Amino acid sequence: MRIGAAALCAATLLGMPAIAPAVTIDTDGRLVIAADDGTFAARISGRVHADANFYGSDVVDHESGAFIRRARIGVSGYVRNWDYAITFDNATESADLKDAYLARELGPGRLVIGQFKQFQGFEELTSSNEITFIERSHVSNAMTARAIGVGYHGMLGRIGYAVSGYNLREASDGGTRATDDGIGFVGRLHTAPIMRDGRALHLGVSYAHERSSDTGAGIRLRPAGRSDEGRFTLFDIPGERADVGRLNLEVAGIVGPFAAQAEWLTGSADGDNAPSDDFSAAYAQVSYALGGGTPRRYDPLAGRMRNPRSGSGLGAFELALRWQHAERDDVPGAELQTVDAGVNYYVNDNVRFMLNYTAADNDSNGDAPDLVSLRAQLSF
């Protein structure tokens, strides 16, 4: 519904002077307010992810329960020649600032300044509203997600590129941490050599290098779900500055209702005085869309997947299977294997219900938990 046009029609029917509205409000499954002269627009967005986890614990006692995984509200749009986005997540004890940036077209690409997702990882750059499983992969969780920095991205023909320099301190840290938390840079290239007739092939590569603060650097992965117990240490350089490098390879494809994607991450963490701590992670997943609507779609500009569309009627279903592996190369027996199976039901383009089963095997501590997880999701 476009209220500006409705007001114009009403004025005409009532015999009133037809004065062009200064603002148009679009409520077609979203809320967008735009100035008719093109100088300002604001889109209100939000998402609620309500989850429940039911663990079958093994060596480690994992706590089951229900919780709000995400409760975000945000606004994005443009003011004259500058785009902007501000998003808060209210699912934690205090509001957590997620996106806070301004951007504009500059030359052949787009300049971004502020806090935003750094340009690494096919799944990591996919919105949490559109990932196939309830939780992201071990590959994604080994990367830096959002950080304060300056980035530039664009397309040259069929090749997408992105570069960014950033501080390892997030804006949500406020004044509780010093600003010298380390720096990093990342570069990514991606292309789609095939994209026609319901088919797409994506190839991508990225490299990130980070220099941590003197408190060290490390990643501890959750084997299954959101349990903080029995985490798997992927690498750890405590109590000193560390250099961490990560190389990531991406491949994804769509053939009609089938979609598949895989990523392989390899890296090394080197302390000023500590020996090198090498690590790797990988996953591969497939999904199949059935029912009404359209299957998963590929976004060539961002180099990522989009959700199936529900269509009319009873909506759409999606079946999915994923294998994951993570390894700390220099520590014998430090391996983590995880298998996920899922069913997604798209009621409409704003509501999704998810059911996942996860089985994990953490060789580093002998724990092998399994998990049934549920999600009710609304986004606009």
pLDDT at 14: 45
Tell me the per-residue pLDDT of 133-148, one tens digit each, with 9 for 90 and over.
999 999 999 999 999 9
pLDDT at 25: 86
pLDDT at 173: 53
Confidence of residue 180 (pLDDT cuts 50, 70, 90): low
Confidence of residue 171 (pLDDT cuts 50, 70, 90): low
Looking at the predicted structure, is the pLDDT value of residue 22 above 90? no
Tell me the per-residue pLDDT of 31-84, one tens digit each, with 9 for 90 and over.
899 998 889 999 999 999 999 999 997 889 999 999 999 999 999 999 999 999
Confidence of residue 197 (pLDDT cuts 50, 70, 90): confident
More confident residue, 292 or 310: 310
pLDDT at 21: 53
Stated pTM of the model: 0.89
Instruction: Among 30-39, 125-134, 291-300, name the most confident range.
Output: 125-134
Residue range 328-332: average pLDDT?
92
Looking at the predicted structure, is the pLDDT value of residue 262 above 60? yes
* CA-atom Rg of the chain in angstroms: 22
pLDDT at 258: 96
Looking at the predicted structure, is the pLDDT value of residue 324 above 60? yes
pLDDT at 18: 45
Tell me the per-residue pLDDT of 150-161, one tens digit each, with 9 for 90 and over.
999 999 999 999
Average confidence score pLDDT of the chain:
90
Tell me the per-residue pLDDT of 337-379, one tens digit each, with 9 for 90 and over.
999 999 999 999 999 999 999 999 999 999 999 999 999 999 9
The percent of residues in the chain predicted with pLDDT above 70, rounded, is 91
pLDDT at 213: 84
Tell me the per-residue pLDDT of 94-114, one tens digit each, with 9 for 90 and over.
788 999 999 999 999 999 999
